[in-house]
Structure 1
């Protein structure tokens, strides 16, 4: 009898531990006006996928890309994107108890149209990519969540073969698995730029090398496989994904294939992510198709198509897979909706849950689970 009571108590404690946490979805957007909400936070039910609005923030223009501090207390945002001469990066405190979002600091981004942010694992550095400015910048992060003045801004003047590629366009800044390098796809120059990164230095980022992509391809977003041995880049202008072998900062091309189900007159691929178990890769296609392409990843890193899932909206600029791998959530910028899909971990296929929330211009998603 005592043994049964003991086991029952353990089960109750385990259940309490499981449910003593809350998951939040963070949404950045193109709000086009400071008097409109730009950052949204929703509580996400990890059983059903349901989203409940918690709080919003206005007073900033176009907070189009977000990332979080290591502890989730602070939000960092690319702000005043698409606003000539006004590009900035900003930081905010997210107080879960109130709940509120509070602006803490703002710094010039070092170039027009900042579009991507990454925080180093040390929590000391923020790396930003400026699309129109064609530059990469590095900012110190203070313990109170504020952003210091940029210690490095590296502009590029390269170009490539199409009308859109008359100048450099840095589109993402991604740390390597060991976080000793930063990789920055340059849509304007058809290059994936590599930078050495030493967090102990006063200026941690140093321009290092690059890998060329196919001319006119427009490399955009970049991701590493969980095993650290492979990397993948989605190419916006060619509608392709290129797979690479990765080792100690070196990228070697492995495979290149289309993200679309049929040839298009105009390609507009956007985002790329891998399931937490490393078995499937997902890529978003804007334009006529507006879908998520689903690929199986083989043991040698190559891809094979599994299928396509319509995003229930227009212009899927960004999406994420939650850390459990259960849900895939899409931000459809033009149709103004965020849509939740359930993910089959065995097949990789997606099912629309029917859950969506609406706002103007959703452009980026982040997710975080907190212990209550």
Structure 2
């Protein structure tokens, strides 16, 4: 009887520990580094029920501003413009990062990285370099080589910000092509990534025009693959495109600001909720807000909420894996603000939870 009771207690304790662990998931934060501030990439355990975060480790790396990961490794762009700009890779074992290797990005100020083909290639966007770099990776995260490199040309109507190409991001589309936003020329380039003679190569598929002076920065796709949303950094607009006969047709341009907003925009990030019902976007400079849009049946947007981010310089934001929270990295006020998310209405509210970190730029789970 005693032995049976003991077994029950052990089983209950094991189950309790397992449930507690499942409530906590690894989270990684990329930053801009400085002598008195951040030293690199920070890893946390994030509690999916409470919104609390516990720091686990700090890995030194120079301004690892944007991150991407698989289950086995994490990559980060070192966003500098002094000749040492690079793509760094880290092994990821038991949620602990160990440096693997790095290669030059060639172009200056790499600001975004994405992984494709189940992590077998990486695409880096060089902002000031106006270029795109394509790397082959092995399954454990070693960067093998820069297989392809593409420089862009052109300009647009804003002489201060669009004097030349500024490649800002690359995202994988529903057609498995890579969609590249060029803030400097108001264009979205679409490339297939193909393998030739054992190397990955860019193959241009299409060029999509964005409104003049908008400055496309990031984009997001609806889960059904039929609608694309392009965030315009310079105007604070979201441009909606619908797939039609193999092309993307512009169907709506909508502001992420309240009607009375008069200041300067610095739109930063855009994401669609997993259920495809809501879209969110962040805006910096004079706005410092995060906006919620309801997505209609035809993919078009209705602005529902414009909420202060309780700080300055909101960059990347992300949903917690269960969709219960939205975490906003406020670069200029050195903290991540955790917002509650109402899954039914899509609206956000301040949870009161804060994660202190110097110059947060990117948050991934």
TM-score by structure 1 length?
A: 0.89
User: How much has 1:351 moved relative to structure 2?
Assistant: 1.5
User: How much has 1:214 moved relative to structure 2?
Assistant: 1.1
Query: Within 5 A, what are the aligned runs for 1:138-157?
Result: 138-157=134-153
Q: Show CA shifts across 1:43-78 (max 9, x none).
A: 0111101000011111x2110000002x2x211000
Q: Which residue of 1 aligns with 2:77?
A: 78
Q: SS at 1:171's partner residue?
A: strand
Q: Which residue of 1 aligns with 2:344?
A: 346
Q: Which residue of 2 aligns with 1:244?
A: 241
Does residue 94 in structure 1 map to residue 96 in structure 2?
no
User: How much has 1:260 moved relative to structure 2?
Assistant: 1.1
Contact 1:125–1:199 (CA under 8 A) maintained in structure 2: no
Query: Within 5 A, what are the aligned runs for 1:210-289?
Result: 210-246=207-243, 250-261=247-258, 262-289=260-287
CA RMSD between the two structures: 2.2
Q: Which residue of 2 aligns with 1:370?
A: none
Q: Which residue of 2 aligns with 1:124?
A: 120
Q: Which residue of 2 aligns with 1:195?
A: 191
Q: Show structure 2 runs of 5+ residues with no match.
A: 1-7
Query: Within 5 A, what are the aligned runs for 1:300-315?
Result: 300-315=298-313
Query: Within 5 A, what are the aligned runs for 1:3-42?
Result: 21=22, 22-33=24-35, 36-42=38-44
Contact 1:56–1:100 (CA under 8 A) maintained in structure 2: no
Q: Which residue of 2 aligns with 1:292?
A: 290
Normalized per residue, the structure richer in strand is 2
Q: For residues 227 and 346 of structure 1, what CA distance do their matches in structure 2 show?
A: 19
Q: Which residue of 2 aligns with 1:3?
A: none
Q: Show structure 1 runs of 5+ residues with no match.
A: 1-7, 368-372
TM-score by structure 2 length?
A: 0.90
Q: Which residue of 1 aligns with 2:133?
A: 137
Q: For residues 128 and 154 of structure 2, what CA distance do their matches in structure 1 show?
A: 12
Q: SS at 2:265's partner residue?
A: coil
Residue in structure 2 matching 1:327, options 316, 325, 328: 325
Contact 2:135–2:144 (CA under 8 A) maintained in structure 1: yes
Q: For residues 285 and 41 of structure 1, what CA distance do their matches in structure 2 show?
A: 25
